[in-house]
């Protein structure tokens, strides 16, 4: 642990499980006070994980966190997140827009409600939370906004198609077109925010895993095999930490993948408590 976030306050959405919970725990281990946002406040939902459990894990590691139960598809809920976090901790330095919505169906079967939810959660929520956070980041003198993206934002290749190409197969059979479209829009939104704020000490980045992350949701979906890259949540948490404490003049505007970023920076993947490196096999 280096304490690089000591005195800082962060909001992390989608922090009941998976990537969001891992980022929250990693930030807390480095001294940040963290406001955790998700719909699942208490245990007992269809997937493992809840805000109460993430708060408890942070408290057990002598960190400080608070839970804000909210549905990011609801405009009224989105509007109260930043004010509640600032009321609780007195300031805001970091916003991590991690919560997302997906429905993997053939694109010709996607319904208007699917489009509405996908763009509400994956694009409009990050936009509105960033707008709400900005005055507080400016007041703090320096700030960081991190949008969690996805490899599905990459364009699939055109014909002729290689039937042995895993990315072709994933796009054809995984039906990630709608989800990927929202994440591609999020990447462009990120780059635009960054350049428009380039005269200020505020970093805006988008971060995606190389492939899939071994989170509760991904493992519940299943269908993975030895050809897929399932990276640990610790890799995303470590990359998020690097993007949320360095000088904005160093990395702002980058839309990056977790493991290549860490390799470029010469940073090892650490355990969520920050006390040591992950085992090599687990961090690969």
Instruction: Give the active site residue among 102, 150, 215, 258.
Output: 150
Distance separating alpha carbons of residues 266 and 247, to the nearest angstrom: 17
Which of 168, 144, 141 shows the shortest CA–CA distance to 154?
Answer: 168
Whole-model pTM: value is 0.93
Is residue 215 part of the annotated active site? The answer reads: no
Nearest Cα to Cα of residue 253 among 198, 185, 180: 198
Give dist(CA 240, CA 96) in Å, integer. Answer: 9
CA distances from 213 to 20, 34, 149, 153, 159 (A): 11, 22, 12, 15, 29
Closest CA to 55 of 70, 71, 40: 40
DSSP 121: I
- Tell me the pairing of strands 202-208 and 94-97: unpaired
| The pLDDT value given to residue 30 | 98
φ, ψ dihedrals at 257, nearest 5°: -105, 150
Look up residue 222 and give its two tokens: 């299943």
Output the pLDDT for position 2.
82
Pick the catalytic residue from 16, 50, 130, 183. 183
- Active-site residue, from 149, 215, 252, 258: 149
Phi, psi for 271 (deg, rounded to 5): -65, 160
Question: Looking only at Cα atoms, what is the longest distance across the chain?
Answer: 56
CA angle 166, 167, 168 (to 5 degrees): 90
Q: Does the annotation mark 149 as catalytic?
A: yes
Q: Which parts of the chain fold into alpha helices (H)?
A: 18-29, 51-60, 75-89, 112-119, 125-140, 166-174, 177-196, 216-221, 233-243, 248-251, 258-265, 280-283
What CATH fold (topology level) applies to the domain 9-283? Rossmann fold (3.40.50)
- The predicted pLDDT at position 225 comes to 46
pLDDT, position 170: 85
State the catalytic residue, choosing from 16, 33, 130, 179. Answer: 179
Task: For residues 148 and 99, give the distance between their C-alpha atoms in angstroms, rounded to a whole number.
Answer: 8
Neighbouring residues of 118: CB distance < 8 A, sequence distance ≥ 6: 101, 102, 103, 178, 179, 181, 182
Which residues of the chain are under the pLDDT cut of 70?
Answer: 1, 214-229, 280-284
- Catalytic, 150? Answer yes
Q: Is 183 a catalytic residue?
A: yes
């Amino acid at each position: 642990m280096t304490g690089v976030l000591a005195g800082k306050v962060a909001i992390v959405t989608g922090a009941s499980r998976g990537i969001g919970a891992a980022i929250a725990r990693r930030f807390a281990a480095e001294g940040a006070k963290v406001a955790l946002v998700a719909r699942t406040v208490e245990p007992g939902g269809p997937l493992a994980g809840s805000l109460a459990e993430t708060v408890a894990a942070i408290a057990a590691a002598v960190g400080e966190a608070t839970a804000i139960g909210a549905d990011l598809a609801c405009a009224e809920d989105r509007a109260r997140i930043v004010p509640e976090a600032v009321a609780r901790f007195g300031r805001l330095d970091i916003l991590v827009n991690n919560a997302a919505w997906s429905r993997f169906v053939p694109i010709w079967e996607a319904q208007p409600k699917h489009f509405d939810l996908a763009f509400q959660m994956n694009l409009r929520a990050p936009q509105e939370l960033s707008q709400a956070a900005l005055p507080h980041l400016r007041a703090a003198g320096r700030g960081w906004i991190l949008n969690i993206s996805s490899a599905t934002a990459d364009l699939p290749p055109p014909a002729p198609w290689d039937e042995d190409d895993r990315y072709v197969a994933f796009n054809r059979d995984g039906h990630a077109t709608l989800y990927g479209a929202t994440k591609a829009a999020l990447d462009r939104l990120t780059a635009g925010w960054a350049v428009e704020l380039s005269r200020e000490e505020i970093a805006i980045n988008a971060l995606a895993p190389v492939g899939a992350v071994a989170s509760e949701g991904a493992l519940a979906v299943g269908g993975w095999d030895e050809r897929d890259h399932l990276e640990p949540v610790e890799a995303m948490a470590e990359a998020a930490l690097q993007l949320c404490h360095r000088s904005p003049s160093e990395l702002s505007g980058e839309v990056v993948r977790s493991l290549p970023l860490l390799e470029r920076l010469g940073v090892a993947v650490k355990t969520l408590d920050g006390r040591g490196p992950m085992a090599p096999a687990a961090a690969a």
